Amino acid sequence: MSESQDCHVEPISKEASAQEMAQTTEALLLVSGMGCPNCAARVRNSLLSLQGVVEAHVDHLNGRAHVTFNPAMVTGDALTEAVRLAGGDGRHEYRAQVVH
């Protein structure tokens, strides 16, 4: 997919709560279906919208997402579901697998 104006996504910002930051771990997700920086922003926004996710860095070129999260608040399955839900608009379809 190529980047276009109708595909533009504004990245959100998030200040993690004390509860979210109380206990954190990191996960590496392999993400398929991203074709441009807007795809990465879409996936990142979806991950950050989860309660328990502290940070998400998504690289569309390498198909990877590094996520810092509180495992007491969010699971690996919830992370992969958030990636899937970031697409599903008929134009974008993303899949993820937790590898670490």
Cα separation, 82 vs 26, whole angstroms: 16
Helix H or strand E segment including 96: strand 95-98
**Which tokens hold the place of 42?**
């879409």
Which domains, from first to last, does the chain contain? 19-98 (3.30.70.100)
**Has residue 4 got a pLDDT over 60?**
no
Cα separation, 40 vs 33, whole angstroms: 10
* Band (100; pLDDT cuts 50, 70, 90): confident
Write the pLDDT tens digit of every residue in 5-57.
567 788 888 999 999 999 999 999 999 999 999 999 999 999 999 999 999 99
